[in-house]
Amino acid sequence: MKYTELEYIGRGTFGDVCRALDNATGGQVAIKKINLQELRKKELRVNELMVMKTNMNPNLVNYLDSYLVDGQLWLAMEYMDGGTLSDVISETYLSEDEMAAISRECLQGLDFLHSNLVIHRDVKSSNILLRTDGSVKLADSGLFAQLTPEQSRRSSVAGTTGWMAPEVVTGQPCGPKVDIWSFGIVGIEMVEREVPYWNETPVLPQLLIDIRGTPKLQQPNRFSPCLRDFLSCCLQTNEARRWSAKELLQHPFVTSAKPASTLVPLINSAKKEKKKTRM
Q: Where are the alpha helices (DSSP H) in the chain?
A: 42-54, 85-91, 96-115, 166-169, 177-192, 205-212, 225-234, 245-248, 252-255, 264-278
Q: Which of 87, 122, 140, 179 is catalytic?
A: 122
Cβ atoms of 190 and 99 within 8 Å: the answer is yes
Q: How many whole angstroms separate alpha carbon 50 and alpha carbon 45?
A: 9
Mention every residue, 6+ apart, whose C-beta is less than 8 A from residue 166.
181, 206, 209, 210, 237
Q: Are 184 and 213 in contact (CB under 8 A)?
A: no
| Residues 213/235, Cβ–Cβ less than 8 Å | no
Neighbours of 91 (CB within 10 A): 18
Give every CB contact of residue 205 below 8 A, 6+ residues apart in sequence. Answer: 161, 162, 195, 196, 197, 198
**Rg, the chain, Cα only:** 19
32: left (phi over 0), alpha (psi -120 to 50) or beta: beta
122 labelled catalytic: yes
Q: Is 155 exposed, middle or buried (0-12, 13-18, 19+ CB in 10 A)?
A: exposed
* 59 neighbors 112 (Cβ within 8 angstroms): yes
**Which residues are the active-site residues?**
122
